[in-house]
Structure 1
Amino acid sequence: MRFQKIGSIGLITLLTTLLMGGLGSVALSQKQPNGLSGNTVKAIASTQTLPNAKQNQSNEQILLDIEGELGDGDQVLPQDGSLYDEHTFEGLAGQSVAIDLESDDFDTFLILLDPQERIVGQHDDVSQNDLNSTLNVTLPVDGTYTIIANGFDSNSRGRYRLLVRTPIQSVSQ
């Protein structure tokens, strides 16, 4: 049986086999100091597929899925006068993430900052005909990463969607 390791705190490990849009199980186990398994609690759970999630993404975990808007009252980049919103997520060193910033209203610009606010990556247009932004990076350190959801210029206003995904890392039991 294959599990997705959610996390560990001391001797407690949480594993799940939840699949997007289906049934799965969650197991919480505690190891004794001598290394033997202790109590295990299992539960059956049902998940729902996110309405905007792509069909082929069952091997990816959604870290952020945000619908936002650039408009009056948003922060302004001093370099070019463009509006921006900040969004954060927790990342691990070596973790691969895919970030997409899409809008039908304006030309997007995407910036990813590490926990020390250094630029990890930035992207403007997918192509000459696609003014959305996408970034695929491997995170350099553990910590809280900041995404700057930005427009290309000071006239950029409107709705956008920000999606951050990472491959699911499975461990065998």
Structure 2
Amino acid sequence: MLLSTSSGTTLPVQAISASQQLAQITPNTITGQLDGNSNTLNDGSYFNVHTFEGQAGEFINIEMVSEEFDTYLLLRGPDGQTIAQDDDGGNGDTNSRIVMTLPTTGIYQILSNTYSAGTAGQYTLTWQLITEDEVVRLQALQRATALNQQAIELLGAGQISEAIYPAEEALALRREYLDDNHLAIAQSLHNLANIYRRFPSRYEEVERLYLEALAITQEQLDDSDDLALITARANSLTVSILNGLAWLNQRQERYKESEDRYLEALRIVNNHPDDLTFELVVNTLAGLSSLYHEQERGAEAAQFGAESLAVIQTQADNLPLNSAQREQLEERLDILSGLFNDQGFNYDDRELANEFEISLRQSLPALEQQWGRNHPDVLLDYYYLAHALWVQEKIFQ
């Protein structure tokens, strides 16, 4: 990706391979590969170039999809300047789309790019002329994607009330322009439920949103005909929804329903491990441990708590850390392992939970700065911090 590129600037790129120049007026769908043989931007990311001839006033849709990397898409006009770019505006979380009216007649260049430097993999690129009505629809869906991401970021920053409006607007746009059983609608329902659940007075509404989202993902799984991409997305979202429902039922002391939800999520975890992020696996195992601990089912609580730590340990073993970083990580995991006894999580009383909260708040900023928020050790610490706050009834924190 070119981080500094904006409309009206020229891309600083290395020489473009002549073999990658395609001049086509008709719609095209091609499969490409980004790797060390591709062109390279100044930021170290790979790109290929594909060209088409366009007429001023034409409406065009360009979409880049990959199951192997986070895509990035740029469009250069006939004068060689960038006129549009997109990161995650396409179908799925990391695909790209550009929808626009062509400003002039001439040869346009599409740059199929990756978000991160050095990322390689296969992709599919499609471009075609569309109607003005379709432009309106696709641009509305791109706005929904942006609103959805805004809501997630606000929620992550603790701005819960501010996250409600963009999440609601994203859902409204997707309901207006997508089929009722589209996975993007399920994702918006799930995201809105995750925000509303911060308010106990809205628990009934939260459950309704989760259940509607779950019905969509299950329908998609029933109708997917083993399409790998759809199945993987639906499985991942289903596990996340089930974990949310289980959490809600646990808060409502509907323990049997909570357990059933967690066990259903665990079945998907066991049957489709390649479809899920390790965070989802950990959330499922740790959620079960927390539920059993609350019910004083100590042996089961300890079992699933230990399994969640084992998953994180496996993920940590695969991280490219230097010896000092790995030593720090192992120390943190040892501390966390020490929080378990034969009753599961070993911080029932508020005094101990408060001590643990203080310790985590002191260590988390440095860890996050060094390793990033998505590092497994950092994510696990956030999970334990949330649990320690919950023990102290600091619900909204």
Smaller-chain TM-score range? Answer: 0.5 to 0.7
User: What's the offset of the Cα at 1:120?
Assistant: 1.4
Residue 113 of structure 1 and its aligned partner are, at CA, apart by: 0.3
Q: Counterpart of 1:71?
A: 35
Aligned to 2:324: none
Q: CA deviation at 1:168?
A: 7.0
Residues 59 and 131 in structure 2, CA contact (< 8 A), matched pair in contact too = no
* Structure 1 residues 142-173: Cα deviation after superposition (integer angstroms, max 9, x where no partner): 0000000000011321000000010379xxxx
1:139 pairs, out of 96, 99, 102, with 102
Deviations 1:41-89 (A, max 9, x none): xxxxxxxxxxxxxxxxxxxx952211000012111001x1100000000
Aligned residues, how many? 108
Higher relative contact order (CA 8 A, sep 6+): 1
d(CA) in 1 for partners of 2:60 and 2:27?
9
TM, length-normalised to structure 2 = 0.26
Name 1:5's counterpart in structure 2.
Answer: none
SS in structure 2 opposite 1:94? coil
Q: How does 1:53-68 map to 2 (within 5 A)?
A: 63-68=27-32
Q: Does 1:96 align with 2:71?
A: no
Deviation of the 1:100 alpha carbon: 0.2
Is the Cα contact below 8 Å between 2:59 and 2:129 reproduced in 1?
yes
Paired residue type of 1:70: L
Match of 1:117 in 2: 80
Query: Equivalent residue of 1:130, what SS?
Result: coil
How far the C-alpha of 1:130 sits from its partner, in A, is 1.0
- Which runs of no fewer than 5 residues in structure 2 stay unpaired? 1-24, 133-397
Is 2:114 the counterpart of 1:151?
A: yes
Q: Report the equivalent of 1:37.
A: none
Match of 1:126 in 2: 89
2:27–2:129 CA contact under 8 A, matched in 1 = yes
Q: 1:160 aligns with which of 123, 134, 139?
A: 123
Query: Counterpart in 2 of 1:7?
Result: none
CA RMSD of aligned residues (A): 2.2
More strand by share: 1
| Separation (CA, whole Å) in 1 of partners of 2:127 and 2:104 | 17
Structure-2 residue corresponding to 1:107: 70
Contact 1:63-1:89 at 8 Å conserved across structures = no
TM-score, with length taken from structure 1: 0.58
Which amino acid in 1 is paired with 2:65?
E
- Seq. identity, %: 36
Partner of 1:86: 49
Question: Which runs of no fewer than 5 residues in structure 1 stay unpaired?
Answer: 1-60
Mark the structure with the bigger radius of gyration.
2
Runs of 4+ in 1 over 6 A off after TM superposition: none
Q: Are the counterparts in 2 of residues 64 and 89 from structure 1 also a CA contact under 8 Å? A: no
Give the letter aligned to residue 61 of structure 2: A
